[in-house]
Amino acid sequence: MKKTGASGGPSASELISQRIVDLGGWRGETLARMRKLIQEADPDVVEEWKWMGTPVWSHDGIICTGESYKEVVKLTFIKGASLMDPGKLFNSSLEGNARRAIDIREGEQVDAAAFKMLIRQAIALNSEGKAKPSKAKPAVKAKTATKAKPVAKAKPVAKAKPSKAKPVAKAKPSKAKPVAKAKPSKKAKA
């Protein structure tokens, strides 16, 4: 598991551990249990401490946050609306377009396998959006383009006025006599 934190101060993982201790009781136990499931689902998860004291778990983007309230421990999945939830774990923030949350009350247990599946789905969704640069080098370097001079703005064109000229009369058929066909000369036959 990767850890991030402010330089010189405690790491994010240390701050999350301290939060668990400070909460104590069922809230501390619940947050510790959910943290362990996140780490089991993704050993490379990054723990972060954001927004003035919120535990955050990331992998190619935020997976979820872990907030603690008097009545619930809330795990909010940033892209939860895009995840399949066959275990029906999401029970909060259901009206949003992006987020979904799991509110865990005292004495409630979360299906560990279903929760780990949500974590893995969130990671996969984060990873889909992260394009990996190609390591292949181009065979021939392209020539650099010359800089084009800026083009002056075009002035608006005045609207065309209708013509006052009279329409052209239709052509009349010609009264000329048709040309007679040329007769072959007698010399050419010889």
Crossing angle of the two packed helices 112-128 and 25-41, in degrees rounded to 10: 50
- Of 68, 78, 75, residue with least CA distance to 89: 75
| Per-residue confidence (pLDDT) for residue 159, from 0 to 100 | 56
pLDDT confidence band for 52 (50 / 70 / 90): confident
- Give the pLDDT band (50/70/90) at residue 161: low
Structure confidence at residue 96 (pLDDT) = 86
Q: What is the CA radius of gyration of the chain?
A: 39
Residues 101-148 have pLDDT tens digits of 999 999 999 999 999 999 999 999 999 877 555 454 444 444 444 454
Query: For residue 43, what are the contacts with CB-CB under 8 A and spacing of at least 6?
Result: 1
What's at 160, amino acid-wise? A
Domains of the chain, start order: 11-128 (3.90.1150.200)
- Largest interatomic CA distance in the chain: 129
pLDDT in tens, 77-98: 999 999 999 999 999 999 989 9
pTM of the entire predicted model: 0.65
